[in-house]
Structure 1
Amino acid sequence: MVDWLSITIVVVSVAVAVWTLIATVRDQPMLVPHLAGLALLELLLLVQLGVSITLMLGGQTPEQNAVFIGYLASVVLIPPAAAVWGLTERSRWGPAVIAFSGVVLIALVLRLDQIWTAGIG
């Protein structure tokens, strides 16, 4: 995995989580700009998926390969799931779902990096 990409994903996840948490506190529903934030996160996660697959095909594999692949697959599914859930929940809790997904993404990306570093480094 690429360190700067993981750091970028964590920073964007924090920004989206804080932004949508503010919308939750203000009792606002999820809006199109929130979807744009999730779309940016999804794009970054897909790039990370592609980079990870390329590195793995090149011979660099983590020790816990199955766990790594499971985390990698899960992390890509979270932003679309949060978008659907947030859109269906038209109250203040729609943005709260997105804020929670941002926190979950931070934990999963850090864990992915930890698994990768333990197996490679």
Structure 2
Amino acid sequence: MIEWFSTIAIAVSVIAGLVALVLGGIGRKPDDYSVLATAAVALVLIVQIVIGIVAPFVGNEPTGDIVEWWIYLVTALVLPVGAIIWALVDRSRWATIVMGVASLAVAVMVFRMNQIWFVQGVALVS
């Protein structure tokens, strides 16, 4: 995991989540703005998968449990994809809100993935 990329992933997820929540809050049905914003979250997570595969081979190994990190990543990828599918099936304002909540949940999950990769397992010497 690359620290600056996780910051970008969190920022993209928060922006996409807020956009979708605002659009859903004013009653807009899923449209290009909300669906493409949520798709950007999924795209960032796909790039994160590639980084997660390559990083340990170039010396950037996690300090925490790698299995837990991968479970977070796969689950995080399922959220925006599932929300987009929901939006394509249910063309109501609630689908837009679901995309917003899913994107914000991804932001929290990427933050936790960052903790697992960089913070856990580091012994503090007093």
Larger radius of gyration: 2
What residue in structure 2 maps to residue 67 of structure 1?
Answer: 68
The question of 1:34 aligning with 2:34 is answered yes
Cα displacement (A) at 1:120? 7.2
Q: Secondary structure at the match of 2:119?
A: helix
Gaps of 5+ in 2: none
| Higher deviation after alignment, 22-31 or 111-120 | 111-120
State TM-score, norm by structure 2.
0.86
Q: Secondary structure at the match of 1:39?
A: helix
Q: Percent identity?
A: 25
Q: Indicate how the Cα distance of structure 1 residues 105 and 85 shifts in structure 2: closer, same or farther if over 3 A, else same.
A: same
Length, aligned pairs only: 121
- CA–CA separation in structure 2 for the residues paired with 1:89 and 1:35: 13
- CA–CA separation in structure 1 for the residues paired with 2:41 and 2:9: 7
- CA–CA separation in structure 1 for the residues paired with 2:74 and 2:57: 16
Cα displacement (A) at 1:63? 2.9
What residue in structure 1 maps to residue 113 of structure 2?
Answer: 112
Gaps of 5+ in 1: none
State TM-score, norm by structure 1.
0.89
- CA–CA separation in structure 2 for the residues paired with 1:63 and 1:8: 21
1:23-72 deviations in whole A, cap 9, x for unaligned? 11111110122221122211111111111111134452443121111112
What residue in structure 1 maps to residue 101 of structure 2?
Answer: 100
What residue in structure 1 maps to residue 87 of structure 2?
Answer: 86
Moved over 3 A (4+): none
Determine if contact 1:62/1:68 at 8 Å carries over to the other structure.
Answer: no
Q: Provide the alpha-carbon RMSD of the alignment.
A: 1.7
